[in-house]
Structure 1
């Protein structure tokens, strides 16, 4: 009788382990394009907007940079602006100096 319980326990354990291993293989997705993030938004490409460095910040430059980077949102940040610390892969930042000239472009 104890052998019957032990063997049925082994069969149950093997079935559970087999179910776990098949789920991990079937749930793996092929890698999607690098330009999309896990939440469905496109990631911005700061390298495509390096042309903005050295130019005076303006609304027209911000719009043009946003389109070229493929970003959902964009903002101009001054050297003394207070910013939040959350990272958003779909947001473009144009960092400026005291004169309002773009000195750095990054995403986040």
Structure 2
């Protein structure tokens, strides 16, 4: 009986580890795309002092060369991971852009 239990445990461990492995040919699309363009916040500084809007966000994202962009209002809950391909437009309570940065 202990032999069967040990064999079963070994088989279960092998199946579990095989499920965790990946082939070298597969790439994570997020990792592959994130290195293709880098955000340049200076190119989007024209937006400072303007009222935030979806059109302005897209225009600033395009000029900065960013893959993604977001508008951050005071007291917004945000993720803190750094992404070099993301543009952030920080606003005041009246949705006027006060700061532009990448990350």
Structure 1 stretches lacking a partner, 5+ long: 1-38
Q: Confirm whether residue 105 of structure 1 aligns to residue 91 of structure 2.
A: no
How far apart are the structure 2 equivalents of 1:43 and 1:78? 23
The structure with the larger Rg is 1
Show the counterpart of 2:83: 88
Total equivalences in the alignment: 70
> What is the deviation of 1:75?
0.3
Aligned alpha-carbon RMSD (Å):
0.8
Q: Confirm whether residue 55 of structure 1 aligns to residue 82 of structure 2.
A: no
How far apart are the structure 1 equivalents of 2:79 and 2:71? 14
SS in structure 1 of the partner of residue 81 of structure 2:
coil
- TM-score for both structures, normalised by structure 1: 0.63
Show the counterpart of 2:59: 64
- TM-score for both structures, normalised by structure 2: 0.66
> What is the deviation of 1:105?
0.2
